[in-house]
């Protein structure tokens, strides 16, 4: 049963909307793209991608926020942008309990046009004004410059570097960087 009417956010060129069945195919293609997934341990199989979408869909339907599907002109599925819980303790001082992470993953056709930052600003506004969150965090592999630039453009500040607790010692993706912003 839905606890909250699904919420769609719109501004400028971007729409953040609940998931539909026809998102599964382009979502799986994005998650199988080695370029999109180069800062993750591995691309996702179709099964993993479908399971991820099912969790994200249910969360948006139940709570009215989460990882929304991004629509931009000419691309009915351009990826996702939104908020999620952090499934491990961040080994960094000054982080509120049960932090929400803002995150994004876009299909390659949508890169380099400002869509991720535009959508992320919309999500941040929602986090402050509707969800009344005290803080939003974001983290990524140290080398993920495009994602770090989005964090900086939307006003998050770098707080710390840390080793991702779920990535093995010595793995090149283990070094992570944490950004955060407090509610205005």
Ligand X SMILES: CC(C)(COP(=O)(O)OP(=O)(O)OC[C@H]1O[C@@H](n2cnc3c(N)ncnc32)[C@H](O)[C@@H]1OP(=O)(O)O)[C@@H](O)C(=O)NCCC(=O)NCCS
Binding status of residue 103 toward ligand X by CB under 6 A: yes
Nearest distance in Å: CB 87, ligand X: 14
CB closer to ligand X, 4 vs 149: 149
Nearest distance in Å: CB 2, ligand X: 28
CB closer to ligand X, 62 vs 95: 95
CB closer to ligand X, 36 vs 60: 36
Binding status of residue 78 toward ligand X by CB under 6 A: no
Largest pairwise CA distance in the chain? 45
Binder of ligand X out of 147, 159, 178, 181 (CB under 6 A): 147
Q: How far apart are CA 86 and CA 83, in angstroms?
A: 10
Strands 135-141 and 175-182: antiparallel
Stretch that binds ligand X, among 19-27, 57-65, 100-108, 155-163 (CB under 6 A): 100-108
Q: Beta-carbon neighbour count of residue 163 at 10 Å?
A: 13
Binder of ligand X out of 68, 80, 115, 179 (CB under 6 A): 115
Binder of ligand X out of 143, 149, 168, 171 (CB under 6 A): 149
Alpha carbon separation from 150 to 20, 29, 61, 117, 124 (Å, rounded): 26, 23, 26, 5, 12
Nearest distance in Å: CB 84, ligand X: 11
Q: How far apart are CA 59 and CA 16, in angstroms?
A: 14
Binding status of residue 27 toward ligand X by CB under 6 A: no
Please name which of 75, 110, 5, 165 lies closest in space to residue 120, comparing C-alpha atoms.
110
């Amino acid at each position: 049963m839905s606890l909250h009417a699904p919420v769609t956010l719109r501004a400028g060129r971007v729409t953040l909307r609940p998931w539909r069945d026809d998102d599964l195919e382009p979502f799986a293609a994005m998650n199988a793209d080695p370029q999109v997934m180069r800062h993750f341990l591995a691309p996702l199989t179709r099964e993993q991608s479908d399971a991820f979408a099912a969790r994200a869909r249910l969360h948006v339907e139940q709570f009215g926020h989460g990882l929304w599907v991004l629509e931009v002109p000419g691309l009915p599925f351009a990826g996702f942008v939104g908020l999620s819980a952090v499934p491990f303790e961040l080994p960094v001082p000054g982080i509120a309990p049960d932090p929400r992470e803002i995150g994004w993953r876009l299909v390659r056709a949508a890169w380099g046009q400002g869509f991720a930052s535009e959508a992320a600003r919309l999500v941040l506004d929602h986090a402050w004004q509707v969800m009344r969150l005290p803080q939003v965090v974001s983290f990524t592999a140290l080398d993920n410059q495009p994602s770090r630039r989005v964090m900086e453009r939307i006003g998050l500040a770098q707080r710390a570097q840390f080793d991702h607790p779920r990535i093995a010692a010595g793995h090149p993706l283990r070094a992570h960087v944490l950004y955060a912003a407090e509610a205005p």
